[in-house]
Structure 1
Amino acid sequence: MSSLDQSHDHAREHDPFYDELHATPEFAELRRKFRSFVFPTTVAFLAWYLLYVVMSNWATDFMSKELVGNINVALVFGLLQFLTTFVIAWLYARFMNRNVDPLARDLERRYEDRTGGAA
């Protein structure tokens, strides 16, 4: 982060209008929508990852079961971890574009209109 970016962030932290925007129902809605996706998704992914670790440690017979040739359940679980990561990233981008970004753009526009584009 450049010193110019840091000075803008520092100025925004002490701008009274920024504090006003932070207290608006729109900002609360923005945070609520963000959290409604991020928190459950994070918990679900961590549970899925923990299942993989637990199964690898305590269900070795099941995880070593060969499905096709040398491909076993553990390998499939491991590859599904990668797939899950990409699916979550895609869902996150889609959710944010539809639900959060319009609110964020509106708040940013209001801030820039009020402060003369200092954002």
Structure 2
Amino acid sequence: MPQPQTSSPGQGQRFDWWAAPAAASQPGRPAPPPPPVHTPAARSAHADAVPPQPVAPAPAAAAAPVAPVLPVTVLPDAAPAVVDSSTEVYRAVQASEAFQAIKLGYRAFVFPVSGAFLGWYLLYVAAQAAAPGVMRSQVAGPVNVAWLLGLLQFASTFLLTWLYARNARTKRDRAALELRWDTQDALR
């Protein structure tokens, strides 16, 4: 029994024929073309019976909003400086003690934990390369040391994800949200 041939849509056929019923339900849209036919004889008969549909040009992209032009103050013997109040607000936030405390709390957790996890992973890889006999030793039934350490990699990943979420929720999220509210108030 011959297998039906499949092909990609030809010229004039749409690539999204499977989404045509949803598109047809929208008012003002033309009816979608029929789905492509997969046998050579039916394809040529279909091509003779249905003229190719013209492809509509894509709608023009909405124009991006134009940023307001800010006044420029020219100082003698200096480069022109642009006065921007939002830049000053963000610089003040970055220099604030609250932001520095949030950043320090983040780094105090992430850097040591990332280093410990990377060391744990590299220890596993080095043990595979340096001591294959130890890694092949059976622990329980078909489970050997390599399988056990590999499964512990997954367990430690989930544990570290939970610890990070708990650390962020208890130590940094409230302070970061308050700093965000203060920043938004300063920008108004």
Asked if these proteins are the same fold (TM beyond 0.5), I'd say yes
Q: In 2, distance between residues paired with 1:19 and 1:99? A: 23
Once the two structures are TM-superposed, the CA of residue 17 in structure 1 deviates from its matched residue by: 0.3
Q: In 1, distance between residues paired with 2:174 and 2:95? A: 18
Secondary structure at the aligned position of 1:62 is classed as helix
What do residues 45-90 of structure 1 show as CA deviations (whole Å, max 9, x unaligned)?
A: 0000001000011011111001111100000000000000000000
Letter in 2 for 1:22: Q
Letter in 2 for 1:108: R
Secondary structure at the aligned position of 1:15 is classed as helix
Residue aligning to 2:187 = 115
Q: In 2, distance between residues paired with 1:96 and 1:50? A: 27
- The CA RMSD over aligned residues, in Å, is 1.5
Residue aligning to 2:155 = 83
Higher helix share: 1
Which of the pair has the greater relative contact order for Cα pairs under 8 Å at 6+ separation? 1
Residue 31 of structure 1: which of 89, 92, 103 is its match?
A: 103
Q: In 2, distance between residues paired with 1:60 and 1:108? A: 52
* Moved beyond 6 Å, runs of 4+: none
Letter in 1 for 2:167: F
Once the two structures are TM-superposed, the CA of residue 15 in structure 1 deviates from its matched residue by: 2.0
Identity %: 37
Letter in 2 for 1:62: V
Letter in 2 for 1:26: A
Q: In 1, distance between residues paired with 2:186 and 2:136? A: 62
TM-score norm. by structure 2 comes to: 0.54
Secondary structure at the aligned position of 1:67 is classed as strand
Aligned length: 105
Residue 119 of structure 2: which of 47, 66, 74 is its match?
A: 47
- Any stretches of 5+ residues in structure 2 without a counterpart? 1-63, 68-85
Q: In 2, distance between residues paired with 1:60 and 1:34? A: 38
Secondary structure at the aligned position of 2:171 is classed as helix
Q: In 1, distance between residues paired with 2:173 and 2:150? A: 33
